[in-house]
Amino acid sequence: MAIRTVNQIELKGKRVFIRVDFNVPQNEKGEVTDDTRIVQSLPTIRSVMEAGGKTILASHLGRPKGKRDPKFSLAPVAERLSKLLGKRVALAIDCIGEEVQKQIAGMKEGEVLLLENLRFHPEEEKNDETFSKALASLCDVYVNDAFGTAHRAHASTEGMTRYVKTVAAGFLMMKEIESLEKALASPQKPYVAILGGAKVSDKIGVIENLLDKVTTVLVGGGMAYTFLRAKGFDVGKSLVEEDQISFSLGLLERGKGKVKFLLPSDHIAAERMDAQAKKQIVKNEKIPPDWVCLDIGPETVKLFSEEIMSAKTIVWNGPMGVFEMEPFSQGTFAIAQAVAKSSAFSIVGGGDSVAAVNKAGVADKISHISTGGGASLEFLEGKKLPGIEALRRG
Ligand code: AMP
């Protein structure tokens, strides 16, 4: 069944529950240090307000471990959201219960109420039926705009949708689904997948699923060393997942003749994982036994960039090196620049690659920046995401 978007539903006078992702970073004082996630949810919230709905917002924040903890209260979010909307957003005492029911009953059209942290209740992550029904009883319409948690079957992302008659996707959620579907269903070729980050084991599913769809796979980051080891190179003290070596070799074999599978040919190696450590550029054949490779080298940047420049579709997940340390960040930033320069339809997902694209100041040149690292990976693995499937119910 096709998924409806929030603006395709009659909302006037209705109680509209929107599952948002307000899991924002905060400083020690509890102040919101980056309000991107709040800003991104504004189009959906405004659309409900303008349609005359009563907006009920719900989110998790941090890991309160199923207990009420003032440290994880959504109060700072309510404050920031009020400023952004130019309208007072009240914070409910809890996310379920009589008190909350009463507060909602008193709401006028166009008003906005933020429920308190969903994860103050352990039942949220357990997808508990009674808790799901309690959430569902608060609303007439359910909207999910939190793609980042769509791969989890929680009460607020999956359970409660069984007890609400009308469900829909928010604008942010819809953009994620449409962009990722485009990359899976009808991608234009050449189609280049760029995979990096620490571990092969985290990206196995994606590589397997994409192997039948892409023209080229570029592997960088820590995961490249398990592949290089599988090909017989001595990679020194670089990150290797011993138990993934034979699997990696199998993948390379399976891709033969079908996919161009490119691994780094040179590296920035260091004496130890430390920004101050001595470093040098080394080729695959010359990695010193006691050194650790922490970024792709200039030759690899050139090789990868050429592939990226000729692509029509690009999916990128995971940094090319330990980009948190300046001396090992150049490869990741160079790839960010190349993806930005390319005219391909590009999707960047995963916290680190998104951070790199933002830091490089090229975010506006990327077709779609996914708000959910884990969720976008599972989507690209071809898995059905419970939070998305739930929206197909009606
Ligand atoms: P992931 O969460 O799997 O995308 O991994 C991201 C992490 O991989 C980052 O914290 C990077 O520092 C790390 N990483 C990238 N390249 C390397 C490398 N060559 N060696 C060790 N860690 C790396």
Q: How confident is the model at residue 185 (pLDDT cuts 50, 70, 90)?
A: confident
Q: Is 350 touching ligand 1 by the criterion CB < 6 Å? A: yes
Which atom from ligand 1 is nearest to the alpha carbon of 295? 19
pLDDT at 215 exceeding the cut of 80: yes
pLDDT given at position 372: 86
Beta bridge partners of 384: none
Residue nearest to atom 11 of ligand 1 (CA): 322
Residue with tokens 């059209």: 109
pLDDT given at position 350: 81
Tally of CB atoms within 10 A around 106: 11
Q: Stretch 13-41: mean pLDDT, rounded?
A: 93
pLDDT given at position 381: 86
Tell me the average pLDDT of the chain. 95
| 279 catalytically annotated | no
pLDDT one-digit tens code per residue, 223-237: 999 999 999 999 999
Show the 3-state SS of the chain: CCCCEHHHCCCCCCEEEEECCCCCCECCCCCECCCHHHHHHHHHHHHHHHCCCEEEEECCCCCCCCCCCHHHCCHHHHHHHHHHHCCCCEECCCCCCHHHHHHHHCCCCCCEEECCCHHHCHHHHHCCHHHHHHHHCCCCEEEECCHHHCCCCCCCCCHHHHHCCEEEECHHHHHHHHHHHHHHHCCCCCEEEEECCCCHHHHHHHHHHHCCCCCEEEECCCCHHHHHHHCCCCCCCCCCCHHHHHHHHHHHHHHCCCCEEECCCEEEEECCCCCCCCEEEEEHHHCCCCCEEEEECHHHHHHHHHHHHCCCEEEEECCCCCCCCHHHCHHHHHHHHHHHHCCCEEEEECHHHHHHHHHCCCHHHCCEECCCHHHHHHHHCCCCCHHHHHHHHC
pLDDT at 24 exceeding the cut of 70: yes
Q: Is 199 touching ligand 1 by the criterion CB < 6 Å? A: yes
Which atom from ligand 1 is nearest to the alpha carbon of 294? 19
pLDDT at 351 exceeding the cut of 90: no
Residue nearest to atom 21 of ligand 1 (CA): 222
Q: Is 170 touching ligand 1 by the criterion CB < 6 Å? A: no
Q: Stretch 54-78: mean pLDDT, rounded?
A: 97
pLDDT at 174 exceeding the cut of 90: yes
pTM (whole model) above 0.75: yes
Q: Which of 205-209, 249-253, 294-298 has the largest mean confidence?
A: 294-298
pLDDT given at position 373: 83
**Distance, CA 352 to ligand 1 centroid (Å)?**
9
**Distance, CA 220 to ligand 1 centroid (Å)?**
9
Residue type, 374: G
**Distance, CA 218 to ligand 1 centroid (Å)?**
15
Q: Is 202 touching ligand 1 by the criterion CB < 6 Å? A: yes
Which atom from ligand 1 is nearest to the alpha carbon of 293? 19
Burial, 202: exposed, middle or buried (Cβ in 10 Å; 0-12, 13-18, 19+)? Answer: middle
pLDDT given at position 186: 86
pLDDT at 393 exceeding the cut of 80: no
Structure token pair of residue 145: 């705009």
Shortest CA distance to 147 belongs to which of 320, 376, 350? 376
**Ramachandran angles phi, psi of 218, nearest 5°:** -110, 120
Q: How confident is the model at residue 128 (pLDDT cuts 50, 70, 90)?
A: very high
Selecting among 110, 205, 374, 382, the annotated active-site residue is: 374
pLDDT given at position 328: 97
How far apart CA 282 and CA 280 sit, in angstroms, is 6
Structure token pair of residue 143: 């909207």
| 250 catalytically annotated | no
pLDDT at 394 exceeding the cut of 70: no
- 32-to-168, 254, 351 alpha-carbon distances in Å: 28, 47, 18
Q: How confident is the model at residue 302 (pLDDT cuts 50, 70, 90)?
A: very high
Distance of CA 164 to the CA centre of its chain: 27
Those residues with Cβ within 8 angstroms of residue 334's Cβ, 6 or more apart along the chain or in another chain: 301, 305, 320
Biggest alpha carbon–alpha carbon distance for the chain: 71
**Distance, CA 214 to ligand 1 centroid (Å)?**
23
pLDDT at 337 exceeding the cut of 90: yes
Q: Minimum mean pLDDT among 79-88, 162-171, 251-260, 371-380: which range?
A: 371-380
pLDDT one-digit tens code per residue, 272-295: 999 999 999 999 999 999 999 999
Q: Answer yes or no: are the C-beta atoms of 358 and 162 closer than 8 Å.
A: no
Selecting among 15, 19, 37, 54, the annotated active-site residue is: 37
pLDDT one-digit tens code per residue, 28-64: 999 999 898 999 999 999 999 999 999 999 999 999 9
Structure token pair of residue 19: 């599952």
Q: Answer yes or no: are the C-beta atoms of 64 and 24 closer than 8 Å.
A: no
